[in-house]
Amino acid sequence: MDRAEVEAKMTDLLVEELGLDRDKITMSATFDEDLEVDSLGVVELLMALEDNFGVTIPDEEAEAIGTVGQAVDVVMEKIGG
Amino acid sequence: MSDRVALVTGASRGIGRAIAVHLAADGNAVAVNYRTRSDAADEVVATILAAGGRAVAIAADVGDADAVAGLMDEIGETLGPVSILVNNAGITDDNLLLRMKPESWDRVIQVNLSSAYLCTRAVLRTMLKARWGRIISVTSVSGLSGNPGQANYAAAKAGLVGLAKSVAKEVGSRGITVNAVAPGFIETDMTNQLGDAVREAALPAIAVGRFGTPEEVASAVGYLASDAAGYITGQVLVVDGGLAF
C-alpha cells in the first residue's frame, strides 16, 4: 500500500469512526486543536488503525502522534511502506 | 435472548455465582471465571445450561495480567466480545494493620482492586467499538465505612469506587456505564466464617433485621447491566438492608 492509499484510508476512518468533517482533514491538521478529537477519540482511532491495517502501535509511539500526517507516518513505518 | 456476553470474575460461589446465574437468566451468555474451584464453577455452568442459558467456566487468576489476557482471548473465541464485566473476585486476609504483613496487604489489593483495573482495561477496547458496555464492580460497605481488621480489604474495596467514578467519566460518551454495588452482610462462605457473636452483634444494626441473600445483590447488578440503567454511571448502589455500620 503506498502513501496515497494510506492517506485516503486514514481520511475515511476519521470520517467513519470519529464522525469528522471530511473537508477539515488535512495531513497537517492536529487532532486536538484543528479536529477537536478528545484523547479517547485518538485511542479509538489508533485501535481502528490497528484493525484496518493489521499493525500494532505501541503506546509510546501513539503518544507522539499529534497530526493526521504523523499517524500516516506511523502506519507507513509499520506496514513497511 | 440477548447477544451480549458477560464476564463475572470469581463466580464459582457466593455473590459471584448468583450474579452469573442472574445475568444468564436475563439472556446473556456468561463466562464463569474462577481460580481453583473447578467443580463449583462447572456446577454454576450446569445450573445455567439446565435453565436454558449459555455459559462456560474459565479458570484465571485475575490478579495476573497474563492470565487476564488469556481469559479475554478464550472468552472471545468461545462466546464473543465481552459487553458486561462484573468485577466480583475478592478475598479477605484480615488482621490489625499493625500486624498485617506486606504479602497480606499486597495480595488483597492485587486480587480485589488490581484485577478490576486489568479486566476493565481489557474489555474497554471492544466496548468502545460497540459503543455499549456495562462495567460493575462489587465493592463493600467495609470499603465505604471502614472495618477494624480489614484495612487491606476496605482499602481495596474503596479503591473500586474511585476506579468506577474515574472510568465512568472517561468513557461515558461512548455508551459505557461504570458503577459499583456495595453489599452489606450477605449469606455466603465469607460471612459464614464470622462467629455467632459477630452475627448477633450485627443484626440489630440492620434495619430489615436479617442478612441479605446473594440473589438480592445479583438483582442490583442485573439492573445496572441492563439497557434501562443507561443513565446511571459513576454510582455506588448499596445493598445492605439499611445497615448502620
d(CA B154, CA B112): 10
In tens, the pLDDT along B18-36 reads 999 999 999 999 999 999 9
Which residues in chain A have Cβ-Cβ distances shorter than 8 Å to B129?
Answer: 44, 47
Q: What is the pTM of this model?
A: 0.92
pLDDT at A43: 87
d(CA B2, CA A65): 39
Is A12 an active-site residue? no
Spell out the SS3 assignment of chain B. Answer: CCCCEEEECCCCCHHHHHHHHHHHHCCCEEEEEECCCHHHHHHHHHHHHHCCCEEEEEECCCCCHHHHHHHHHHHHHHCCCCCEEEECCCCCCCECHHHCCHHHHHHHHHHHHHHHHHHHHHHHHHHHHHCCEEEEEECCHHHHHCCCCEHHHHHHHHHHHHHHHHHHHHHHHHCEEEEEEEECCECCHHHHCCCHHHHHHHHHHECCCCCECHHHHHHHHHHHCCHHHCCCCCCEEEECCCECC
DSSP letter at A16 equals: H
pLDDT at A81: 55
Q: Does B169 touch chain A (CB under 8 A)?
A: no
Q: How many contacts, defined by CB atoms under 8 Å, are there between A and B?
A: 12
Closest alpha carbon within chain B to A39: B170
Which residues in chain A have Cβ-Cβ distances shorter than 8 Å to B173?
Answer: 40
CA distance A34 to chain B (A): 20
pLDDT at B1: 58
In tens, the pLDDT along A23-54 reads 999 999 999 999 999 888 888 888 888 888 88
Strands B54-59 and B5-8: what pairing? Answer: unpaired
Q: Does A43 touch chain B (CB under 8 A)?
A: yes
Q: What is the ipTM metric for this complex?
A: 0.78
Mean pLDDT over each residue of chain A, to the nearest integer: 89
Q: What strands lie across the sheet with B133-138, from one edge to the other?
A: B54-59, B29-34, B5-8, B84-87, B133-138, B176-183, B236-239
- Each residue's pLDDT expressed in tens, for chain B with a length of 245 residues: 578 999 999 999 999 999 999 999 999 999 999 999 999 999 999 999 999 999 999 999 999 999 999 999 999 999 999 999 999 999 999 999 999 999 999 999 999 999 999 999 999 988 998 999 999 999 999 999 999 999 999 999 999 999 999 999 999 999 999 999 999 999 998 888 888 888 888 999 999 999 999 999 999 999 999 999 999 999 999 999 999 97
